[in-house]
């Protein structure tokens, strides 16, 4: 890879060489984080050239990209210059300069997905308004801009009340929960105040108890028969969960969905992803229908991740959409015939979509989050990866981020195997902490 500082002189929109790859269109990616890195990995297999725009010299994708332009994806001039070297422009983060993208499109630059999609999605409130106008089921939401209407929202929706930043949100960093009316001022202040652009959502209760509950219940032998009945009929109906569906749309508008997965969040951050989701088929169908409807209302090619809530009473509500590859699709690299990254490239390059179905019966993905700052954090992560090397079916991904911070996504591990229980057991054995003095 080569780094340069944005003059664009040495590159072409199409790789003119006769050999070429599957496509000789140069793909420009706004952002060079872990998603950009994994896009580069998929591109390399097909010999497709990817150039990235990211301000950080040693960003995760920099070592794998064909070229890395050091510059901000939120700076109109930088994006305009960058676009000159790309045959198609795409994103690995939605917090880019959407106004510039809309202007570039008018000048004939090919953005996939379309700038209008990025503009709608990057403002989570606008996104909610858009989807509610499409008749897509969502948790109730309301814009707030002063204490009086925030209190009003609290009366309407009750507590706990979810307060969210409209913009620049990721990994739950723009979210905060008020448990009582008295907490509202401090929660609003923690999110930067009303000037920052806030809205509220009704709290959606979903608890994931299927596993723990069944373990407890199974331990009562005499209850076995009743439990079998419960597990098969009602248990998964009255326990909610978070689901995600990745929908790919090609340039010819053909659509293809990856299997519905279950995502388990801890402190608002994605923690574990299980594929396929352990929910009844009718729920899966509902999730796919809503996801497809949401994606149909947005313009452009690429993969889109649709985050959903499954409520205790069996409703499926849309949480948010990401217009790009997503954390809930990392597992597809090892578990599906076509990964979400390859699918995204196929979609934006006008190639046929690949087969998104699973080639392994079960997969589980675990995010490696920073547990400590600096060296201590690196040490813990390296220990975990060392352990994973000994686990059958485990695949390590380390993003090579220059700095370790608490709760930052540093890497992930995907375990594939012959059944849901086996991959879960393998993950349990990976995460078992050695108790002090056990040597
Ligand atoms: P991402 O990293 O996915 O972009 P984000 O910062 O945009 O995250 P959200 O997706 O809005 O944040 O919320 C993060 C998590 O917080 C959700 O996955 C869910 O676990 C929880 N959450 C969000 N909204 C609600 C809600 N209305 N009720 C209950 N829990 C919620
Ligand atoms: Mg988000
Ligand atoms: Mg989210």
Name every residue whose Cβ is closer than 8 Å to that of residue 273 and which is 6 or more positions away in sequence: 244, 261, 262, 263, 264, 327, 328, 330, 331, 364, 365
Q: Could you say which ligand is closest to the alpha carbon of residue 173?
A: 1
Ligand 1 surroundings by CB, under 6 angstroms: 139, 162, 164, 169-175, 201, 203-204, 242, 265, 268, 307, 319-320
Cα(397)–Cα(45) distance, rounded to whole angstroms?
Answer: 17
Give me the mean pLDDT over the 256-271 stretch.
93
pLDDT, tens digit, 9 for 90 and up, residues 89-101: 999 999 999 999 9
pLDDT, tens digit, 9 for 90 and up, residues 127-178: 999 999 999 999 999 999 999 999 999 999 999 999 999 999 888 889 999 9
Cα(37)–Cα(65) distance, rounded to whole angstroms?
Answer: 8
How many A from CA of 285 to the centre of ligand 1?
A: 22
The β-bridge partners of 270 are 265
**CA-wise closest residue to 272 among 424, 155, 80:** 424
Give me the mean pLDDT over the 247-253 stretch.
97
User: What is the layout of strands, in order, in the sheet containing 198-202?
Assistant: 141-144, 198-202, 161-165, 175-178
Closest atom of ligand 1 relative to the 204 alpha carbon? 28
DSSP of 412-423, one letter per residue?
A: EEEEEESSHHHH
The pLDDT, as a whole number, for residue 9 is 40
ipTM score above 0.85 = yes
What residue's CA is closest to ligand 1, atom 19?
A: 268
Burial (0-12, 13-18, 19+ Cβ within 10 Å), 75? middle
What residue's CA is closest to ligand 1, atom 2?
A: 171
Percentage of residues of the chain with pLDDT beyond 90 = 81
369 within 8 A of 409, measured Cβ to Cβ: yes
pLDDT, tens digit, 9 for 90 and up, residues 203-213: 998 754 444 34
Neighbours of ion ligand 2 (CB under 5 A): 320
């Amino acid at each position: 890879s080569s780094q340069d500082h944005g003059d664009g002189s040495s590159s072409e929109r199409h790789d003119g060489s006769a050999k070429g790859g599957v496509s000789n269109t140069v793909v420009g990616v706004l952002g060079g984080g872990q998603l950009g890195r994994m896009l580069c990995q998929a591109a390399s297999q097909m010999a497709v050239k990817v150039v990235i725009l990211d301000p950080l010299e040693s960003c995760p994708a920099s070592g794998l990209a064909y070229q890395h332009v050091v510059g901000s994806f939120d700076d109109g001039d930088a994006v305009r210059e960058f676009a000159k070297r790309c045959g198609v422009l795409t994103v690995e983060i939605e917090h880019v300069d959407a106004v510039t993208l809309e202007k570039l499109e008018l000048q004939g630059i090919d953005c996939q997905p379309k700038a209008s999609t990025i503009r709608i999605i990057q403002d989570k409130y606008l996104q909610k308004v858009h989807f509610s106008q499409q008749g897509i089921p969502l948790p109730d939401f309301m814009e707030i801009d002063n204490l009086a209407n925030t209190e009003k929202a609290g009366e309407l929706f009750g507590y706990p009340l979810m307060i969210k930043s409209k913009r620049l949100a990721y990994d739950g960093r723009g979210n905060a929960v008020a448990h009582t009316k008295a907490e509202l001022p401090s929660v609003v202040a923690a999110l930067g105040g009303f000037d920052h652009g806030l809205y509220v959502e009704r709290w959606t209760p979903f608890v994931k108890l299927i596993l723990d509950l069944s373990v407890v219940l199974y331990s009562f032998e005499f209850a076995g028969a009743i439990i079998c009945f419960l597990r098969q009929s009602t248990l998964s109906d009255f326990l909610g969960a978070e689901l995600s569906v990745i929908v790919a749309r090609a340039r010819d508008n053909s659509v293809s969905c990856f299997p519905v997965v279950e995502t388990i969040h801890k402190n608002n951050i994605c923690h574990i992803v299980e594929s396929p989701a352990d929910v009844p088929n009718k729920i899966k169908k509902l999730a796919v229908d809503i996801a497809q409807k949401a994606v149909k209302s947005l313009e452009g090619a690429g993969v889109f991740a649709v985050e959903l809530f499954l409520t205790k009473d069996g409703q499926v509500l849309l949480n948010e959409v990401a217009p790009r590859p997503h954390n809930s699709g990392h597992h597809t690299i090892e578990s599906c015939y076509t990964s979400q990254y390859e699918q995204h490239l196929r979609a934006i390059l006008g190639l046929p979509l690949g087969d998104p179905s699973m080639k392994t019966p079960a997969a589980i993905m675990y995010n490696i989050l920073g547990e400590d700052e600096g060296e201590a954090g690196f040490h813990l992560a390296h220990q975990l990866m060392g352990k994973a090397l000994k686990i059958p079916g485990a695949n390590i991904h380390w993003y090579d981020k220059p700095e370790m911070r608490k709760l930052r996504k540093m890497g992930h591990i995907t375990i594939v195997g012959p059944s849901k229980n086996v991959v879960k057991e393998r993950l349990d054995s990976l995460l078992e902490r050695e108790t002090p003095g056990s040597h």
